[in-house]
A and B are shown apart, each in its own frame.
Chain A
Amino acid sequence: MFDILIKNGMVIDGVGSKAVLSDVGIKDGKILAIGENLKDGGRQVLDAAGLVVSPGFIDPHTHFDAQLLWDGAAKPALEHGVTSIIPGNCSLSLAPLKAEDRKTLIGMFQQIEELPPAAFTDAFEWTWETFSGYRAAIEGTLSVNVAPLVGHSVIRLWVMGADAQQRAARPEEISAMQDLLRECLNAGAVGLSTSFVDVDENARPVPSRFAQFQELDALCAVLGEFGRMLQIVPEFYDTDITIARIDQLAELSLKHKIPTTLSPVFDNRQSPNNVPRTLARIDEQMARGARVWPQMQTRPIDISFSLLRPSLFFARLPSWVKILRLPVTERISALRDPVTADKLVADAGEDGGERLMGRLIVRGGGEAPEHLVGRTLGDIAAERGEVPARALITLSLENDLEIAFLAANGGHDSTDRIGPMLANPLVHIGASDGGAHLTSFSTYGDTGYLFSEFVRKSGALTLEHAVQKITSEPAEIWGLKDRGILKTGYAADVVIFDPLTIDRGIERPVFDMPGGGMRYVRDSIGVDTVVVNGQIAWAKGAYTNAQTGQICELA
Chain B
Amino acid sequence: MTNRFSWFSATSLTLGMAFLYLPILILVVYSFNESRLVTVWGGFSTKWYGELFRNEAFLDAAWVTLRVALISATVATLLGTLAAYALVRAGKFRGRTLFSGMIYAPLVMPEVITGLSLLLLFISIGMDRGITTIILAHITFGMCFASVVVSSRLVAFDASLEEAACDLGCTPVQAFFYVTLPVIAPAIVAAWLLAFTLSLDDLVIASFTSGPGATTLPMKIYSQVRLGVTPEINALSTLLIGFVSIGVILASLAGKRAAVET
The answer to whether A and B interact is: no
Task: Give the interface of A toward B (CB within 8 A).
Answer: none
Task: Give the interface of B toward A (CB within 8 A).
Answer: none
